[in-house]
């Protein structure tokens, strides 16, 4: 992959009649080590090279991904895309792509060349994580270590030429004492220096050990302290809901609430494409606009939706540099840190719950924000500021707006989270939410 290839693709599409052209190239190598019950079960590796091509012709839009990068295949794909796009209906809402050129400031700590050569050291990382979990009392541990490195290229018909390299490390470990006592933690980093799977393993092991002998939780309204891992799941949804695409299509609880209060004063939620050492940080968006820090919710007030150039023009605002090839998308979700230590936060709770993981968050109505989600792994009753009993078989059954508005405390130590149901990096501390509705199966 190189610039020349993308420049030729853009030029050829223009020759064939395209108005706007975006060619986005990606060359990536990734590896995954899956471990089960303390042993390595599978090694996976992947090498992919592709060019995504977006064009407009008289406000008609077309998109394809070229995976066979031979000269013949590229020529066929461009010609076919032009023919295909001409048959589409115009999109009256389309307002073009950004005009370059742009200057890009370097990003801090997004690439570590050693990651692509880990090989044997990957086994050491897995062993370190597993052994730490076992040392804390877990009997078995399962999870994955993933690492990747790659390079992105972007060329557009509006004078954009941009490139960047990126790398990432991700470790997810679920430690179990028995089938009903478990803890799950993750750690992620863009560099080997900051990557500590042994910490994740130890923390997962400690939660698992505390979670033994769970009893059935009771229905009611609880003040809940969320560990960063489960709260990241909800913040991922909140930030996806800030994309103007989600708002227009009915997938968002933030529609019609611009400049209105959608959360408590404790909540300042940021989309920061330039976050140092964040797995998704990027110098530019899919149109080549330099990324920036967008305060989406400021002290509880919704300040902006996420836009690309086209949607921004439609709404009379400036792009937030969140262009995907078709729709605006968040880079990450950063919950601004608060003033509480974890200890102080627990002391705020006379009777509540401490949740360490959730999954299967599903909505009854995306626009209203009504949902339920299931805590898994360690769930603890908090009594007079201390986690006491281990609980099981409960469900959180609430509303996104209500939960954000009932967020009464945010801790000061943030953690970067990515997970099975957390698809964008979320940087969040522990969070205390008042009066969350809890239900359980009834017979």
Partner 1 sequence: MHEDIADFAVNYAIKKGADYAEARAEHSEGTAFAMKNGVLHAAGFQKEDGIGVRLIVGGVMQFLSTNELSRSVLREMIDRAVRAGKSSARVASKIEMSDAPVERVSYEVKQRVRSSDVDSRGKIAELFDIEAELKESRFSIPARFLSLSDDVVHKCFINSEGSRISSIIPYVGFFSLITVNNDAQTAQRTIQLDETGGWEIVKGWNLPSKVAEEANVLFKNLKYGKPAPKGKVDVVAAPEVVGIAMHESVGHPYEADRILGREAAQAGESFMTPDMIGRRIAKGFVNVVDDPAVPGSAGYFLFDDEGVRARKKYLIKDGNMNEFLHNRETAFSFSIKSNGSARAMDYGSEPIVRMSNTFLLPGELSEEEIIEDVKLGVYMKSFMEWNIDDKRMNERYVGSEAYLIQGGEITHPVKRPALETTTLDFFSAIDAVGDKVGYHAGTCGKGEPSQGVPVWMGGPTVRLKGIRLG
Nearest to 48 by CA among 66, 75, 23: 66
Among 57, 110, 136, 184, binds partner 1 (CB under 8 A): 184
We find the least distance from the C-beta atom of residue 200 to partner 1, in angstroms, to be 11
CB contact at 8 A, 379 and 361: no
The two tokens of residue 342 are 């974890």
Helices 3-15 and 71-86, axial angle in degrees (round to 10):
40
Question: Of 175-183, 229-237, 288-296, 331-339, which part binds partner 1 (CB under 8 A)?
Answer: 175-183
- Residues in 311-330 that interact with partner 1 by CB under 8 A: 326-327
Residue 185 or 274 with smaller CB distance to partner 1: 185
Among positions 68, 218, 383, 386, the unique one binding partner 1 when judged by CB under 8 A: 68
Answer yes or no whether residue 438 interacts with partner 1 by CB under 8 A: no
Examine residue 106 and tell whether it contacts partner 1 (CB under 8 A): no
β partners of residue 439: 395
x/- letters, 370..409, toward partner 1 (CB under 8 A): xxxxx-x----------------x-x--------------
Evaluate whether 371 touches 364 at the Cβ level (below 8 Å). yes
CA atoms within a 13 Å half-sphere pointing along the CA-CB vector of 159: 5
Question: Least distance to partner 1 from the beta carbon of 415, Å?
Answer: 18
| Phi–psi pair at 155, nearest 5 degrees | -135, 135
CB-based contact 250:259 (threshold 8 Å):
no
**Nearer to partner 1 (CB atom), residue 45 or residue 259:** 45
- Rounded to a whole number of angstroms, the minimum distance from the CB of residue 213 to partner 1 is 16
Query: Closest CB to partner 1 among 253 and 284?
Result: 253
| DSSP labels, 269-291 | EEEETT-TT-TT--SB-TT-PBP
What does the alpha-carbon distance between residue 204 and residue 181 come to, in Å, rounded to a whole number? 11
Residue 158 and residue 98 in contact, taking contact as beta carbons nearer than 8 Å: yes
User: Would you tell me the crossing angle of helices 197-210 and 120-135 to the nearest 10 degrees?
Assistant: 30
In total, the chain counts a number of residues equal to: 443
- Select from 15, 17, 36, 213 the one that contacts partner 1 (CB under 8 A): 36
Q: Does 48 bind partner 1 (CB under 8 A)?
A: yes
Residues from 328 through 367 that contact partner 1 (CB under 8 A): 359-367
What x-and-dash track marks residues 228-267 binding partner 1 by CB under 8 A? Answer: -----------------x--xxxx----------------
Q: What count of other Cβ atoms lies within 10 Å of the Cβ of residue 51?
A: 22
Residues 111-150 that bind partner 1 (CB under 8 A): 119-120, 122-123, 126-127, 140, 142-144
Closest CB 179 distance from partner 1, rounded Å: 7
Bridge partners for 373 per DSSP: 396
**Which one among 15, 93, 218, 383 touches partner 1, defined by CB under 8 A?**
93
């Amino acid at each position: 992959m190189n610039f020349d290839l993308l420049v030729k693709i853009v030029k050829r599409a223009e020759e064939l009649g395209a108005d706007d052209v975006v060619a986005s190239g990606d060359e990536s190598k990734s590896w995954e080590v899956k471990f089960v019950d303390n042993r390595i079960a599978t090694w996976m590796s992947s090498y992919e090279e592709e060019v995504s091509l977006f064009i407009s012709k008289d406000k008609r839009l077309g998109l394809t991904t070229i995976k066979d990068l031979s000269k013949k295949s590229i020529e066929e794909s461009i010609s076919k895309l032009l023919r295909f796009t001409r048959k589409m209906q115009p999109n009256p809402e389309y307002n073009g792509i950004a005009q370059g050129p742009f200057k890009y400031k370097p990003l801090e700590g997004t690439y570590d060349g050693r990651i692509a050569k880990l090989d044997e050291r990957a086994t050491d990382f897995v062993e370190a994580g597993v052994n730490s979990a076992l040392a804390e009392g877990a009997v078995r541990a399962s999870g994955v270590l993933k690492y990747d490195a790659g390079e992105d290229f972007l060329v557009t018909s509006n004078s954009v030429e941009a490139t960047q390299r990126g790398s990432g490390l991700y470790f997810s470990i679920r430690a179990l004492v028995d089938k009903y006592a478990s803890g799950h933690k993750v750690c992620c980093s863009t560099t080997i220096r900051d990557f500590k799977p042994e910490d994740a393993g130890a923390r997962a092991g400690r939660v698992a050990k505390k979670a033994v002998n769970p009893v059935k939780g009771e229905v009611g309204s609880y003040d809940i302290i969320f560990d960063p891992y489960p709260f990241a799941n909800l913040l991922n949804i909140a930030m996806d809901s800030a994309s103007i695409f989600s708002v227009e299509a009915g997938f968002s609880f933030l529609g019609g609430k611009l400049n209105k209060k959608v959360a408590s004063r404790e909540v300042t939620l940021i989309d920061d494409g330039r976050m140092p050492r964040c797995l998704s940080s990027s110098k530019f968006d899919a149109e080549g606009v330099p990324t920036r820090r967008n305060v989406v919710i400021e002290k509880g007030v919704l300040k902006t939706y996420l836009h690309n150039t086209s949607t921004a023009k439609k709404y009379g605002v400036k792009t937030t540099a969140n262009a995907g090839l078709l729709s605006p998308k968040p880079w990450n979700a950063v919950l601004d840190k608060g003033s509480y230590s974890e200890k102080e936060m627990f002391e705020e709770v006379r009777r509540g719950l401490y949740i360490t993981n959730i999954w299967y968050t599903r909505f009854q109505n995306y626009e209203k924000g009504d949902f339920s989600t299931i805590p898994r792994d360690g769930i603890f009753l908090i009594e007079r500021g201390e986690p006491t009993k281990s609980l099981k078989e409960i469900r959180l059954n609430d509303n996104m707006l209500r939960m954000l508005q009932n967020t009464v405390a945010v801790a000061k130590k943030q953690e970067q989270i990515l997970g099975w149901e957390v698809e964008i990096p979320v940087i969040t501390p522990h969070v205390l939410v008042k009066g969350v509705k809890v239900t359980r199966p009834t017979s």
